[in-house]
Structure 1
Amino acid sequence: MKQLEVTIMGQSYILGCPEGGERALLEAVGNVDQEMCAIRDAGKVRARERIAVLAALNLAYVQAERPMSANGAAAASNVDLDALVTRIDEALGHDGQLL
């Protein structure tokens, strides 16, 4: 297994990657970094772990909501991050409120 050093939101990580999977892993890292930086830059959430949870939920939501095309590939989708945060806060209630 190959190891790649990547950076997510300014922090370095060493990740294991199967041979030939480098491109897919780097694309996933880019998506996670983009989501986490967007949440951080919006200024609503400061804690890195909360940013990571929101980014993970956002990416999972986008994946789940994408309609599948005839060849099984997911179609592109835009998600309103503020609306997603509101939905997560409503689901968690006051004890787990992210914002």
Structure 2
Amino acid sequence: MTQPFTVTVQILDKDYHISCPPAQRANLEQAARYLDGKMREIRLSGKVIGAERIAVLAALNISHDLLQRPASAEPAGEQVRELLAKIDSALLESPTESQQG
């Protein structure tokens, strides 16, 4: 079995170190870029302040999109859920950011 290693991804200009099997590195990086893009869209709207609130809204939007997919797309959805769980874990390990505004 391949040992996991740490991948550093950047989301909203903050680094997160996430343990990941080498074979999943590209998927993790792609998921992080996707999440970063969604969070930046929300931040640019100016309607939501604070990284934590932006992250929750992005997670809800992504979850909604996944639930709207046909059942035949389930394997890809499972991979995304696993990666989101890893990102959630990394967020829990990082210090809480104070809200702006």
When the two structures are superposed, what TM-score results if normalisation uses the length of structure 1? 0.67
Query: Could you say which residue in structure 2 is the equivalent of 1:49?
Result: 52
Segments of 4+ moved more than 2 angstroms: 68-74
Structure 2 unaligned regions, length at least 5: 78-101
The amino acid across from 2:56 in the alignment is V
SS in 1 for 2:52: helix
Alpha-carbon distance change, 5 to 68 in structure 1, aligned in 2, over 3 angstroms? same
When the two structures are superposed, what TM-score results if normalisation uses the length of structure 2? 0.66
Deviation at residue 68 of structure 1 after TM alignment: 3.6
* Structure of higher CA gyration radius: 1
Structure 1 unaligned regions, length at least 5: 75-99
The amino acid across from 1:52 in the alignment is A
Q: Does 1:28 align with 2:31?
A: yes
Greater RCO, 1 or 2 (C-alpha within 8 Å, sep 6+) = 2
Q: Across the two proteins, how many residue pairs are aligned to each other?
A: 74
| Higher fraction of helix | 2
State the alpha-carbon separation in 1 of the partners of residues 13 and 46 from structure 2.
Answer: 16
Identity of aligned residues (%): 39
The amino acid across from 1:28 in the alignment is A
Question: How big is the alpha-carbon RMSD for the aligned residues of Structure 1 and Structure 2?
Answer: 2.0
